[in-house]
Chain A
């Protein structure tokens, strides 16, 4: 009986070792290695664009900079325009002083912060663009009223300049300040206010 028990103990060890040997060995799944390598390859292919991404960003930034520098808007600003006096005379263009009825300028009442004042703003209708003149208007000669106004302004300016220059040439006399005499205060009479 005891020998049988001892034999069973040995059998148990053998059984246990045999079972343990197969416990963690189910047999390798077919294609496991290739699947892992393929997954790594997928990661690699996703990672590769990152390598040239900085260069692409730099190239794009440079392109944007070049486009911004050489746009027609900037070119027109950089071109030196001839002075107005050298321009050939152009036919005067009549600029209407009254609003064009084709342009609908709608008064818009805007209530300001003050409750009593209401400001009226004229806002052009954004759907109807402003009239575009074919030739930029050249300065027209001054009218007689404008010439008279200019002459008046120049004359007054000359008078003021002359009076100022005259005041500067005259010697400055020292100021004389009279001695200030302050009489002592008399005490109020008894019984008086």
Chain B
């Protein structure tokens, strides 16, 4: 890695590896699998020398990383998981404080349980404020479809969270 080109590649890795890792992690939800996908992404670029001709390196890398991650994704998806307890409770009891501390984890479980066609656009939209046009390029679907799927995913999650909140008011 002594030549200028190799240094340039190392610079690309340092510059974009956090972003690529987040893309892979958003799909795989596992750090080790995500790291493998990131390594595979960069090594594939290095072997093919394609990284020299990249115009929009962020979109290109996100696309390749998404493909790598999807290939590693297990075929069988978990069923929609119900949070076992009320995640929104803000009651000051110690038990509810623990639940409140895990609110994000509970929402993550709900996101994980979404259908893949809804989960992937939603997860990508959370990465570095990626816009719908970039997500459409990564997923290879129209931009309008991306917006529709993100909206549907958010609606499903909010309905689920609202149901839990109504349970809290019903008590």
Contacts and interface: CB of A to CB of B under 8 A. Distances in A.
Interface stretch (B42-50, B74-82, B136-144): B42-50
Contact residues of B: prevailing secondary structure: helix
Given A23-B111, A24-B23, A24-B126, A16 B17 contact: no
B148 interface: no
Contacts of B122: 20
A41 B10 CA distance: 10
B9 interface: yes
Contacts, number: 102
Contacts of A20: 107, 111, 122-123, 125-126
A32 B31 CA distance: 11
Interface string A27-65: 011001101110111011000000000000000000000
Contacts of B111: 19-20, 23
Given A15-B103, A19-B103, A41 B1 contact: yes
Interface in B116-155: 122-127, 154
Chain A residues touching B, majority SS: helix
Interface of A: 1, 4, 8-9, 11-13, 15-16, 18-26, 28-29, 32-33, 35-37, 39-41, 43-44
Interface of B: 1, 6, 9-10, 13-14, 17-18, 21-23, 25-26, 31, 34-35, 38-39, 42-43, 46-47, 88, 103-104, 107-108, 111, 122-127, 154, 157-158, 161-162, 165, 169
